[in-house]
Structure 1
Amino acid sequence: MYTDDDPQWIRFFTQQIQPFWHDHVEVNNLTRPDGVVLHWFLHRPVHPQGLIIICPGRIEASLKYQELVWHLAQANYAVAIVDHRGQGFSDRLSNNPHHGHIDQFQDFVDDLDAVVQEATRYYPRIPHYLLAHSMGGAISALYLAQHKHTIRKAVLSSPMLGVLTGDTPQWLAKTIAVGGALLNRWFSPRKPWYFFGMTDYIHVPFDENELTHSEARYQMFRDAYEENPQVQLGGPTFNWLAQAFAAMHAAHQQADRIDVPILLLQSGADTVVDNQAQRKFFSKLKNDQSQIKCIEGAKHELFMESDRFRQPALDAVLSWFQPDK
């Protein structure tokens, strides 16, 4: 096994991980009641020890998780992963396919419930687990609080339970997002507007990225998006941001309804989401088996980070999901 700073790592990725994804991960379609078609992916071993459902973050396509799915498969897990509506290979929701847009955040939550129901039909008698990242953390928190489910344990990685708004006070950012979304609905209801400063997909140079210290993994992510332009996504719309603020508030309000153990993994050097808000959310959880773990120095994308950050996160996930624990 090569570390990500070894020149051989890219060869390992292209000769081992990508062929595994192509040969052992099947694509499925699911049409929702409003006509939106979701793509979701499933690795289906014969006798897995458990099923892990992955709920990705904003802009993420399942392709971005090829290495993580490979590692989970080596531990003999079945793995399902969804492309959220409006991103990945799933149907887009705007006249511009680059818009990071959602009409109602609740749609993400209900979509996840539908995909979980589909995936668990394949393996009704083994433990079911949920692994969520960033925006997927907010989606999963609301799902666990609202829906009947068979999830035994969950991991929330760098969950979007509060966002960092830089020099702009959060109350002002929220007011602008909500006000802009309202004006958008009044004046251009069928054409969402980007939030101020947002654009179509652009390739951000590694030296300017806020996601990872791993240049090799970052390059593989960008290469996948260049080779599959239909998964490219730009910045969020006013309505996405307004809905995200409301969803984060709802996740805090409903945290005490979550009855399964949660492992909350924090990225110590995160500049995207708010670690203090994560700790506030964690304090509201009622299951006394829940744990919070900070990977000091890590950037936002724990499972695309350099090995010195990624491996502790991966080890924590595999330990947390052991069926006998």
Structure 2
Amino acid sequence: MYTDEDPQWIRFFTQQIQPFWRDHVEVHHLTRPDGVVLHWFLHRPVHPQGLIIICPGRIEAALKYQELVWQLAQSNYAVAVVDHRGQGFSDRLSNNPHHGHIDQFQDFVDDLDAVVQEASRYFPRVPHYLLGHSMGGAISALYLAQHKHSIRKAVFSSPMLGILTGDTPQWLAKSIAVGGALLNRWISPRKPWYFIGMTDYVHVPFDENELTHSEARYQMFRDAYEENPEVKLGGPTFNWLAQAFGAIRAAHQQADRIEVPILMLQSGADTVVDNRKQTEFFRKLGNDQSQIQCIEGAKHELFMESDRFRQPALDAVLNWFQADK
């Protein structure tokens, strides 16, 4: 196994991981009550030790998780990954396919419930686990708090339980998002507007990215999106951001309803989500088996990070689920 800093790593990715995804990961479709068609992906080993459902973040397609799925498969896990409505290969929700848009954040939560139920039918007799990253962490928190489920344990990776708003005070960012969303619905209800300063998909050079220290993994992520341009996504709309703020508030309010143990992985150098709010959420959880671990120096994308950050995160995930045996 090569490290991401080894020139051979990209060859390993293209010759081992990508063929595995192509040959051993199935594409499934699920039509929701409102007609939106979700794409979700499933790796099915013959005798898995468990099923891990991955709930990705904003802008992410399941394609971004090829390496993680491959590694979980090496430990004999079945793995399911959902493309959320409005992103990945799933149906878009706007006149502009680059809009990062949602009508109601609750739709993400209910979609996850439907995918978990579908994936679980393939593996009714093995333990079921959940791994939510970034926005997927907020979705997963609300899902575990609201729905009856078969999940035994969960991991929240850099969860969106607070958003960093830079130089703009958070109260002002919220007010602008909510006000803009209301104005958008009034003036142009069928055509969402980008939040201020947001645009269609832009290729961000590695040196300017806030997601990872790993140039090799960053390049593979961007290459996958260039090869599959239909998964490209731009910035969030006013309504997405307004809904996200509301979902974060709801997740904090409902944290004590979560009964299963949570491993919360924080990225120490995160500039996207708020680690202090993650810690506040952790203290509200309704069980005493949960744990929190900070990967010092890591940027937001723990599973796309350099090995010195990514490997401790991956080890923590595998140990967390393995300890359930």
Aligned partner of residue 176 in structure 2, secondary structure: helix
**1:178 pairs with 2:178:** yes
SS at match of 2:322: coil
Residue of structure 2 equivalent to 1:51: 51
The equivalent of 1:210 in structure 2 is 210
Equivalent in the alignment of 1:12: 12
Q: Partners of 1:321 and 1:43 in 2: how far apart?
A: 18
1:188 has 2:188 as partner: yes
What's the TM-score once normalised by structure 1's chain length? 1.00
SS at match of 2:292: strand
Instruction: Tell whether the 8 Å contact from 1:214 to 1:305 is kept in structure 2 after alignment.
Output: yes
CA distance in structure 2 between the aligned counterparts of 1:210 and 1:321, rounded to whole angstroms: 29
Query: The residue matched to 1:195 in structure 2 has which SS?
Result: coil
1:48-127 maps to which residues of 2 (within 5 A)? 48-127=48-127
Deviation at 1:26, TM superposition (A): 0.1
SS of corresponding position for 1:292: strand
Q: Percent identity?
A: 89
Question: Following superposition of structure 1 onto structure 2, how do residues 309-320 of structure 1 map, counting pairs within 5 Å?
Answer: 309-320=309-320
C-alpha deviation, 1:286, in angstroms: 1.7
Letter of the 1:95 partner, please give it. Answer: N
Shift of 1:309: 0.1
- How far did residue 324 of structure 1 move? 4.0
Q: Does 1:252 align with 2:272?
A: no
Q: TM-score, normalised on structure 2?
A: 1.00
Structure 1 partner of 2:220: 220
Cα distance, 1:244 vs structure 2:
0.1
Q: 2:259, 2:161 → 1: CA distance?
A: 18
1:230-257 alpha-carbon deviations (Å, 9 max, x no partner): 0000000000000000000000000000
SS state at 2:142 partner: helix
Distance 2:323 2:151 in 1: 12
Using the TM superposition, give the Cα deviation of residue 180 of structure 1 relative to its aligned residue in structure 2, in angstroms. 0.0
Task: Give 5+ residue unaligned stretches, structure 2.
Answer: none
CA apart distance, 1:287: 1.0
Give the match for residue 132 of structure 1: 132
CA distance in 2, matches of 1:66, 1:286: 33
1:29-73 Cα shifts (integer Å, max 9, x gaps): 000000000000000000000000000000000000000000000
Quote the offset at 1:323 in angstroms: 5.3
Rounded Cα–Cα distance in structure 2 between residues aligned with 1:322 and 1:308: 22
Structure 1 residue 145: Cα displacement: 0.1
CA contact (8 A) 1:49 1:323 kept: no
Q: Secondary structure at the match of 2:29?
A: strand
The one-letter code sitting in structure 2 at the alignment partner of 1:144 is L
Unaligned runs of 5+ in 1: none
Tell me if structure 2 keeps the 8 A contact 1:32–1:38. Answer: yes
Partner residue in 2 for 1:273: 273
Q: Against the structure 1 CA distance between its residues 324 and 146, is the aligned structure 2 distance closer, same or farther, given a 3 Å change threshold?
A: closer
Between the two proteins, the alignment pairs up a number of residues equal to 325
Are residues 1:22 and 2:22 paired? yes
Residues 127 and 323 in structure 1, CA contact (< 8 A), matched pair in contact too: no
- One-letter identity of the residue aligned with 1:168: T
Contact 1:88 1:230 in 2 (8 A): yes
Q: Which amino acid aligns with 1:205?
A: P
Conservation of the 8 A alpha-carbon contact between 1:164 and 1:274: yes
In structure 2, distance between residues paired with 1:249 and 1:289: 23
In the other structure, the counterpart of 2:298 is: 298
> Structure 2: which amino acid aligns with 1:28?
H
